[in-house]
Structure 1
Amino acid sequence: MPFDYDFVIVLAAEIMRHRDGVDLIDIMLDMGCDTSRPNRAGVTLRQFALSTNSLPLIRTVLKRERDPLDSSIREKMSQLREQYLALPLSPGATELLELLSHLYSLTGHYPSIVLDRHEISLAPRGAPAGEGGFGECWEGIFLGNRYVAMKCTHGFVLPETAMRRTLREMEMWKTLHHPNILPFIGSVTLDSKLYLVSPWMSNGNAAEYINRHPDVNRVAILLQVARGLRYLHARTPPVVHGDIKAANVLISQNGGVRIADFGLSRWAINGSSNGNSDTWRSAGNPRWQAPELLEDSDDGEIPRRTTESDIFAFGRFMIEIYTGELPFPYLSDLRVIVTLVKGTLLPDRPMEPEVVSRGLNDNAWLIIMDCCREEPFRRLTVQELILRLKSL
């Protein structure tokens, strides 16, 4: 039906006085009212909504848009953030924060990667939610109502070293944008400690997830990780993740798979990753490391992780996903190194009926073997890996 768009704008202005009035706009949108059609003054309903700070109106106008993020939304979010930070303790700040939080949830965009202490805080718990070799992960609250992960270095790490490691990871992570890469929200300094902030993945890591959901489609998990890895390896220059394993693959509330933890990642130059310190170059766990990373070079240089060593690690990751156990679960880390040096690149093939029923058939095991070839050039490329996984 035809609409008088001058009346539409007047109505939108009026409903801001009545909390139930937004239902009228909702009905008009159901009847075909176009939010992008201007009135005689050249103003659209969408433009008018974004000129206000009315959460009910903005929510109603934008909710039908599949991808609402554009320059006007970016500008609106920047304005809201500036307004909120100018009066973070005032009564009006709560409404601004609610609107900013809604637009963030709608778009996945935030106007600054340097966060203010008024935008984020640590959740009230006495211990980190998780720990790794280089750092800790704490639960935080972002924009008043959104749980996030806040990653920092261990407290015993020297401040200079902690800052260098954190900044190095942030410089890499903030450039990455893909559905199968954990999003980077930003960084914040609280009590002199720098945190890297990302969305909270409520289903935990892949190892925890498959053990809680034994009937999950494991090929679907593997394919999503492989697509994330393809995105990394296809960049210019390629990105070497350097630490692919189930603990570094996180599962969102809706089952989406995200590669996380870029503490050992680097841009690859001529196939290898440009690392800084020997500590960084030699980091990693032998259960997932390619054999060339454990060898001594003739010039005394520590071998660098490559896109090929990522593929090797993916093969070991596949073993985790199908068995629910670490590679070589019956060996200590030291014995794993000895085993690799002796030339044993894979554990014995698991043949338990429950493992086979999860999909570890002949074809899946052959993919694992082709990922874990001793010679790096004989390993699958990530595109070959994806094609093989699709055939399972």
Structure 2
Amino acid sequence: MEFFSHLPILTSFALTLMLTLVLPNLMERLHLPRPVGYILAGVLLGPNVLAILNPDGKVVGFFSELGKLLLMFFAGFEVNIAQFQRARNKAATFGILTFACPFIFAFGLAAALGYSNNACAVIGSILASHTLLGLPIVKDRGLMNLEATVVTVGATLLTDMLSIFVLAVCVPIHVRGFEPLGVLETIIWLAIYVPGIVIGLSWLVERLLRVFGTSRVSSALIMLVVMAAAAQVAEWIGMEGIIGAFLAGVSLKRAFGEFRSDDSLEIMSQALFIPVFFITAGFLVDFKVFFGTLAHQPLLVLGVLAALFGGKWLAAEAAGRLLGYNRQDRDLMFSLTIPQVAATLAVALVAYSTMNAAKERLIDQAMLNATVVLVIVSSLVGLILTQRAAGLVKKEPARAVSEEAVLTDVPSKAE
């Protein structure tokens, strides 16, 4: 495939756009989610097949990072603030359960396989978080204001924060040993950062909108600047940028409550940046690694998958029943929390690259390979199940009407 790797950049760009146009539409005709088409495009365009795109290229890397942040940003921006305020306790309940169940299962699996307690905690955090890959499907179905969706989106924030927090604690322990002050410092930063972003950015954006206006260009630039700043500050204090992007989305939703926001940035994100993020997930599909790990580490791979699916299902069932949700809502919550991409890969790659004085990695190559398999399988299965679950929820018009009625007494603007 050496011929394809030397194509002119505009030709490569045109082929990428063509595949992102054709394959997602083909997936829809096959009754599969559109993001599956993007991932398949990444497999074809990536280094293991045609090698048209360079995974280490600066442009691809920047577009992918921006797409990941925009995916989480619009997840926060789409949250119904009034409903989220009502559902915050439910989101916290589901967030704790959907983190704890797979974490405990994965910790037990890793301990049984001989990993250290520190490594077990990191492996647990790898499985405990999730990425809302299925959110575009839910949005297309008109279910963003469904309480089960709002609760799941809020739970995602908590699971990602807890996952990054575990990593932030375990990395220095592996390198230097346990330091109580380091753990305390991380907790203090979180306590300052979260309310600072949600409240402080809302105040700042309201004033920026009044100064620079609400034209398409001004609104889009303000969105990008605020998102990038929040993500960068999150990384400065040792968290993943996606947490900052999500909180920035929530902040702008509060600020834009007094203004009519433009959807130009979202259209561009859905057409280019977010698809590139899905495409780079397809780059991870190395068939030698995939089938080699399955052949040589079957118990590890099956155990990791079982811990993920079992833990996420148990959390959705327990939280759903506790909160009074029906079967369709519980299935939607379960399917949305299956995909493992953004925070999962971030934690796994950082843990693998972390070595102590004895040159021992925090997690080994076998676990990293199992994580790659986990990302591929969970993304595809999660998207398919989300498509199915969202379709079933959509068939309940009576519930949708009753939910809208509940919110009629709540102001549409942020307080």
Q: Same fold (TM over 0.5)?
A: no
> When you count helix as a share of all residues, which structure comes out higher?
2
Higher relative contact order (CA 8 A, sep 6+): 2
Kindly name which structure, 1 or 2, has the bigger radius of gyration based on alpha carbons: 1
TM-score, normalised relative to structure 1? 0.23
TM-score, normalised relative to structure 2? 0.22
> When you count strand as a share of all residues, which structure comes out higher?
1
